[in-house]
Structures are given as C-alpha cells and as structure tokens.
C-alpha cells in the first residue's frame, strides 16, 4: 500500500472527526444503524470462519451498550442528529427485549445447575437446591465423590435418581427407561459422557427428560471456538428428533444462549422460553444465560436465577406449563 495512503489513514482520528462534524455524524449514524440491524436480525452477521455470528448472538442483549458512547459523543459535540441516531438501536432493543411476560399459571418447577467439578462444598449446594422444592433437579459436572454427598442430602426429598457420566437427574417422581445419550463430538476421546434421558412419571403424565452438558466455547486468536459445541448440539438434536414421547423437557448447560444459531439443531425440536435474561454465567458477573430449560408439548412459562451456590454458574429455576 502507498505510504501516503497509510499516512492519511492515520490522520483520521477523533480530533479529525470533531473538526469535521458531518463526517462524525455519518460514521456514528452508520454505527447505530448497523447495531440496530444486528440486534433485530443477528442472522445477517456471517458465521463462517471466526464464528462472529454466534458471538454476536450470545451477547446480543449487550449490543445496546453501543448507544452509551454515541450519546456521550452527541453531548460533547452538541449534535441533535447524533442523539437522534442513537434512538434507533434503543427502540429496536426495546422491541426485541422489553415487554416482560406477566405471571402465568404453571404445573411444576424444575432446576438446572452446573455445580462445578471443583466445588469444595457439595453438601451446601445440595441443601440449597433441595430448598428450591422443584419437581426435578438436573446437575452437570458431578464427580463421583460429590454424587455421594448429593445422595445423602437429597435422597429423602428426591428419592428417584438417574445419572450418566457427569450429569445427574433428581426427581420427586418415579423415573424409568433411563439411558445414556451419546452427544460426544468427533475428536473427543471415549469416556466423555455428558448426556442422559429418562421418563419421569409426573402427575401431568409421562415426560421424557433429557439432561445434557455441551462442550465449552473457547475464545481463541482465530475467533469464537464453537465447533465442538455445535457438533454436540447436532447429536443432541438427532436424539430429540427420535424421541417418541410427546412431552419432552431438556435441562442442561448448553454453553449457548437461545439466540445462538449453533443451538438450532436443538431449537428446531424444542421451544425456548420468551425470557432472554436470567443470566447464569459467570456467577461473579453474569453476562449470559447458557444454562437452559427447553420443552416440547409444554411451555416454559418463566425463568429466574437462584442464589449463588459457589459454582461458576448460577442455578436457574423454570416454571413448566403442560
């Protein structure tokens, strides 16, 4: 590239934009319009290569923060046009995310929680989960030692228990037809066991309950690493497609929000709740809900987080309407 072109590019800085208000307004307006489009239709962001589309969808609610520096720029520059441009993503954000669902009748509550395989006080976690009084409790990252502790605390309230590998299901009602669900993606060595399926005899009728823990997503120099998670989601989607029961619940750490297209193979089989907040991860400063409760033949009528248990995830509680 010609050195004079590089030199001119370097001179286009914030001071230049202040001296040229027309250019600044144009660029800030363009930023607002692009942000509004990404909030409204995140599928327009391509997902090839670094998986930018999945990244945008995972943190979609936070895109609205773009208006903060834009409004500050409008204030500094005393620019009504820039302030007006900032209203576009604000209005789009409100259309997508505002409008909290009202209280809705429900039949049962369920709890989903990644308890962390490094947790040092599983008995405390078990007592907190027991106090939720949910009908079903699904857990991930359960070690054999922690499982013994959970059993000691939960067995009276939740006498029915199923597990496979590092995922557990505790139930107040009988469980049958328990089996492992193979969601191990290619490249993961044998012994990686993070899926189960059981039939729960709930008062409302037999319900297939799946518990799953999809692979983690990694931030790399090459982009948002979702390949293993997406492959595992496809395997889970195939299992759900073959499920004969009409009523199905999926509880799990899916390492994905319900906006992320990487979860499409699962969301093509189950319905997600309207609630996009109730952020569950990381527990110290939650920015996304990657713990999910999805349903078929039922409706997830509401989702909320429960108090911190000391894991890196917050537990979530979902209300189910059959």
3-state secondary structure 104-144: CCCCEEEEEEECCCCCCCHHHHHHHHHCCCCCEEEEECCCH
- The residue extents of the domains of the chain are 3-97, 108-321
| 186-210: pLDDT as tens digits | 989 999 999 999 999 999 999 999 9
Assign domain 108-321 to a CATH class. alpha beta
- Which three-class secondary structure string do you get for 268-317? CCCECCCCCCCCCECCCCCCECCEEEEEECCEEEEEEECCCCCCCCCCEE
| 74-110: pLDDT as tens digits | 889 888 999 999 999 999 999 999 866 667 899 999 9
What CA dihedral angle connects 213, 291, 250 and 57, to 10 degrees? -100
- Residue 48's pLDDT band, with cuts at 50, 70 and 90, is confident
Considering the chain, what percentage of its residues have pLDDT values greater than 70?
92
100 vs 250, which has greater pLDDT? 250
- Calculate mean pLDDT across residues 257-276: 95
Question: What is the pTM assigned to this prediction?
Answer: 0.88
Write down the pLDDT at residue 15.
Answer: 52
Write down the pLDDT at residue 14.
Answer: 46
- Residue 24's pLDDT band, with cuts at 50, 70 and 90, is confident
List residues bridging with 196 in a β-sheet. 180, 211
255, 163, 166: which is closest to 209 by C-alpha?
Answer: 163
228 vs 7, which has greater pLDDT? 228
């Amino acid at each position: 590239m010609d050195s004079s072109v590089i030199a001119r590019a370097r001179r286009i800085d914030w001071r230049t934009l202040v001296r040229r208000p027309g250019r600044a307004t144009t660029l800030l307006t363009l930023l607002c319009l692009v942000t509004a489009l990404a909030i409204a239709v995140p599928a327009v962001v391509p997902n090839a290569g670094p998986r930018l589309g999945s990244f945008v969808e995972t943190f979609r609610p936070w895109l609205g923060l773009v208006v903060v520096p834009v409004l500050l720029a409008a204030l500094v520059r005393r620019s009504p046009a820039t302030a007006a441009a900032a209203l576009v993503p604000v209005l789009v954000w409100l259309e997508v995310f505002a409008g909290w669902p009202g209280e809705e009748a429900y039949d049962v509550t369920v709890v989903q929680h990644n308890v962390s395989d490094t947790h040092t006080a599983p008995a405390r976690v078990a007592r907190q989960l027991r106090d939720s009084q949910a009908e079903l409790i699904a857990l991930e990252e359960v070690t054999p030692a922690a499982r013994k502790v959970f059993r000691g605390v939960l067995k009276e309230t939740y006498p029915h228990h199923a597990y496979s590998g590092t995922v557990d299901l505790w139930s107040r009602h009988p469980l049958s037809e328990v089996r492992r669900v193979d969601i191990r993606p290619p490249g993961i060595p044998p012994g990686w066991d993070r899926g189960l399926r059981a039939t729960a005899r709930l008062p409302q009728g037999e319900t297939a309950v799946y518990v799953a823990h999809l692979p983690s997503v990694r931030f790399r120099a090459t982009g948002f690493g979702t390949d293993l998670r997406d492959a595992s989601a496809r395997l889970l989607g195939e299992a759900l497609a073959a499920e004969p029961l009409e009523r199905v619940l999926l509880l799990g750490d899916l390492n994905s929000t319900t906006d992320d297209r990487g979860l499409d193979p699962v969301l093509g089989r189950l319905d997600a709740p309207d609630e996009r907040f109730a952020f569950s991860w990381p527990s110290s400063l939650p920015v996304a809900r990657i713990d999910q409760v999805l349903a078929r033949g039922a409706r997830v009528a509401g989702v909320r987080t429960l108090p911190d248990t000391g894991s890196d995830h917050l537990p979530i509680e979902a209300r189910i309407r059959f």
